[in-house]
Amino acid sequence: MAKDSGNIRYDEEFILNSRGLKLFTCKWIPVNQYPKALIFICHGYAMECSITMNSTAHRLAKEGYAIYGIDYEGHGKSAGLDGYVENMDNVIDDCSAHFTGICEKEENRKKMRYLLGESMGGAVALLLHFKKPEFWDGAIFAAPMCKIADDMRPHPMVINVLTKLTTYIPTWRVLPSKDIIDLAFKVPEVRQEIRSNPYCYKGRPRIKTGYELFKTTMELEQKLEGVSLPFLVLHGEDDKVTDKKVSQQLHRVASSKDKTIKLYPGMWHGLLYGEPLENIEIVFKDIIGWLEERVALGNTRLERELKQRNDK
């Protein structure tokens, strides 16, 4: 299905992953200009791309960027058990295969490529970077799930028991959890939109899902020094879902020479679409400004790749 909205063409398509599952993909492409760069969005846990991240994609597409998204297995319109992450490696493999396939098309090979990850999607973006460290030109991490906030983390004894249960009842929805929608999104109308969106998962986290997310945050927290790509990390100072201290740690210890952090007083977890409009404008001014500066510098990755080919 394709449709035009102003100067943006929206299209969606189902693809098959390596495990034979049907995954939903979508894209927002500027119509009357050559895209400045490609941006690949990685949505949060229990979210999806085509509705909840539509406003984000439209804002960036209006600025001249081509935007691509994919619903993870068990999320949104993709196949799989609702809200179930059996293995985070599968999520990364699916995103990597789809995103790199787009980048390697003839018309896209010379374009710069960026990742934009929100919450769990921030963890996905980091893992995509670790999978192919030299592939991406940069990343934007919005309240990245590098560590679950202490108030959201189960007691160590509960974690120990649930870890053992992943072998026997991995899909059971018995994990104790607070209402993330109420904690993440400040604007009541946004909370209602998410609750009424049939493609957003609202049940309790499944046991294996909780284990995979917890394991991912534990692993990422130990690997932050290995982050080497240019990045912008954004975090609300009143975020009660993911820990702003780890975003600060990411900015402090990452080996990247080009790294920027923005902390927003009074803002919550949902920086991209869960805040009042005046706050969202502040956040996107920072995002677009950061992108414009780097696009203006030119494609240093392409220059490096051409030099390596010539050397060989």
pLDDT tens digits, the chain, 312 residues: what are they?
A: 556 667 999 999 999 999 999 999 999 999 988 999 999 999 999 999 999 999 999 999 999 999 999 999 999 999 999 999 999 999 999 999 999 999 999 999 999 999 999 999 999 999 999 999 999 999 999 999 987 666 656 667 767 777 787 888 889 887 767 788 999 999 999 999 999 999 999 988 999 998 899 899 989 989 999 999 999 999 999 999 999 999 999 999 999 999 999 999 999 999 999 999 999 999 999 999 999 999 998 888 877 777 676 776
Residue 40 has a CB neighbour count (10 Å cut-off) of 28
CATH number of 8-311: 3.40.50.1820
Distance CA 221, CA 34 (A): 38
For residue 187, give the nearest of 262, 273, 288 by alpha carbon.
Answer: 273
Query: Of the listed 43, 75, 94, 119, which one is catalytic?
Result: 119
Total-model pTM: 0.93
SS (HEC) of 177-191: CCCHHHHHCCCHHHH
Token output for 112: 């710069």
Token output for 260: 């920027």
Count of alpha carbons within 13 angstroms of residue 191, beta-carbon side = 12
119 catalytic residue (yes or no): yes
Helix axis angle, 156-165 to 207-221, nearest 10°: 120
Predicted pLDDT at 299: 84
Query: Of the listed 75, 129, 235, 269, which one is catalytic?
Result: 269
8 A C-beta contact, residue 15 and residue 80: no
Query: Of the listed 239, 243, 247, 251, which one is catalytic?
Result: 239
